[in-house]
Homo-oligomer: A and B are copies of this chain.
Amino acid sequence: MISDKMKDYVSKSSIIRAMFEEGKRLAAIYGAENVFDYSLGNPNVEPPEDIKKAITEILSEESPNLVHGYMSNSGYEDVRDIIAKHINKKYDLKLTEDNLIMTCGAAGGLNIVLKTLLNPGDEVITFSPFFGEYENYVKNFDGQLVIVPSNTETFEPDLNALEDAINSKTKAVIINSPNNPTGIVYSEKLIKELGEVLERKQQQLNSSIYLISDEPYREIAYDGVKVPYILNYYRNSIVGYSYSKSLSLPGERIGYVVCNTEMDDFKDVMAALNVANRILGFVNAPSMFQRVIAKCIDSKVDVNIYKKNRDLLYNHLVKIGFSCVKPEGAFYLFPKSLIPDDKEFAKEAKKFNLLIVPGSSFKCPGHFRLSYCISYEQIERSLDSFDKLAKKYI
């Protein structure tokens, strides 16, 4: 008796659950330390000590009915004000609390943005490979996700293909940098050119095309690379931010959406986001963690831990013959599989206790994703399995 839409989702989720069960089965046979689960994006780096300190302070200093109570559906004004000032300082902007809505993570943020923007049949463009949930989020509001392939040598989006894909139904473009699953960071040059394409098409079509940047990995960037802030480059821009990875709080569902003041219908968009947060059932982002964020505004996890993991795993894989774009951010590698059939390759990998996700799940077959947010020691132990896997093909 479940809805037709959900029937499809349930059958897919059974496959994921089967994968998860398989991991547990292998761990039972070989021991957890000999099963190498590269499938999940669950941060292993501990949250900064500041988080615990902030919670303790809040509980002793602030009124419990304030800390755990309802506030505006957009979030506490003082918290939004602190975040706005933080963004202004980092990216030279003039935002206020009125530009922000606190959300249940980036996933909650993307959903209220799409609820706000989409009429049935509207199109949203993204670049493959991409985080598969985008398709579900767009479908939630009867929109259509249009996939524009990236250049698989660099994983940078193909802007000519983007320009061709835009039409009068195009309501938004979703980007994600640092990227899941490739780990690449979009350069300033790329963001500028992307903005130019969108501006040109808006004028041609006399429409508004919103650029939505999904940014759970903004702070997870290496080697001094800069992650450009789209509000500096494009008028109709929206950022969906999450503290899930920057503070290792993925279970707490805390993030925000920030909109460019110069965008079309700014006030209507902000009012609609506020209402969407309420009527989709989020009501508001979890209250105490909003207040924690305000106290920990300058905190960050130790990114160096992820960088060491990246270096160890990337260098080894390249050495033994894998082809892989070197990631500058997030905690994923997206190498080419050693045979064209990535699902078959993932099956082979499992024989060496390596749990990896086929690129097809990100609409980019012939590749596989490794989430290296596991311990350095576990990665070290896994290298031998990669050697054995590679030897079968090289």
> Which A residues form the contact surface with B (CB < 8 A)?
1-7, 9-10, 13-14, 40, 42-44, 46-47, 51-52, 55-56, 59, 64-65, 67-71, 104-105, 107-112, 115-119, 122, 133, 136-137, 140-141, 171, 208, 210, 248-253, 264-265, 268-269, 271-272, 274-276, 278-284, 286-289
Contacts of A47 in B (CB 8 A): 64-65, 68
Q: Are A249 and B68 in contact (CB under 8 A)?
A: yes
Q: Are A46 and B64 in contact (CB under 8 A)?
A: yes
Q: Are A265 and B69 in contact (CB under 8 A)?
A: no
Complex A-B, nearest 8 residue pairs according to Cβ-Cβ distance, in ascending order: A251-B287, A111-B281, A107-B281, A136-B279, A6-B272, A1-B208, A108-B281, A2-B272
Contacts of A4 in B (CB 8 A): 119
Q: Are B2 and A117 in contact (CB under 8 A)?
A: yes
Contacts of A119 in B (CB 8 A): 3-5
Contacts of A52 in B (CB 8 A): 59, 64
Q: Are A274 and B69 in contact (CB under 8 A)?
A: no
Q: Are A42 and B70 in contact (CB under 8 A)?
A: yes
Q: Are A3 and B115 in contact (CB under 8 A)?
A: yes
- The 8 Å CB contact of A40, one of B65, B70, B118, B265, is B70
- The 8 Å CB contact of A9, one of B69, B136, B275, B289, is B275
A-B contact pairs, 22 of them (CB 8 A): A1-B268, A2-B117, A3-B117, A3-B118, A3-B141, A3-B272, A9-B272, A13-B274, A47-B64, A47-B65, A51-B64, A52-B64, A55-B55, A56-B56, A56-B59, A69-B248, A69-B251, A70-B251, A105-B281, A112-B281, A140-B280, A253-B282
Known A2-B265, A65-B248; contact A281-B56, beta-carbon cutoff 8 A: no
Tell me, in angstroms, the Cα distance from A268 to B3 when the chains sit together: 10
Most buried by B among A171, A208, A269, A289: A289
Q: Are B6 and A275 in contact (CB under 8 A)?
A: yes
Contacts of A59 in B (CB 8 A): 52, 55-56
Given A52-B64, A71-B251, output 15 extra A-B contacts at Cβ < 8 Å: A1-B268, A3-B115, A3-B141, A5-B119, A6-B116, A10-B271, A13-B271, A42-B65, A52-B59, A67-B251, A104-B282, A111-B281, A251-B288, A253-B253, A286-B289
Contacts of A1 in B (CB 8 A): 117, 171, 208, 210, 264-265, 268-269
Q: Are A275 and B10 in contact (CB under 8 A)?
A: yes
Contacts of A64 in B (CB 8 A): 46-47, 51-52, 248
Q: Are A68 and B250 in contact (CB under 8 A)?
A: yes
Known A107-B281, A272-B9, A284-B251; contact A116-B68, beta-carbon cutoff 8 A: no
Tell me, in angstroms, the Cα distance from A55 to B281 when the chains sit together: 25
Contacts of A2 in B (CB 8 A): 116-117, 265, 268-269, 272
Q: Are A250 and B70 in contact (CB under 8 A)?
A: yes
Contacts of A7 in B (CB 8 A): 268, 272
Q: Are B9 and A279 in contact (CB under 8 A)?
A: yes
Tell me, in angstroms, the Cα distance from A104 to B277 when the chains sit together: 12
Q: Are B279 and A133 in contact (CB under 8 A)?
A: yes
Residue of B nearest to A14 (CB): B271
Within the complex, the shortest CB–CB distance from A259 to chain B, in Å, comes to 12
Contacts of A70 in B (CB 8 A): 40, 42, 250-251
Tell me, in angstroms, the Cα distance from A107 to B280 when the chains sit together: 8
Within the complex, the shortest CB–CB distance from A52 to chain B, in Å, comes to 5
Contacts of A140 in B (CB 8 A): 279-280
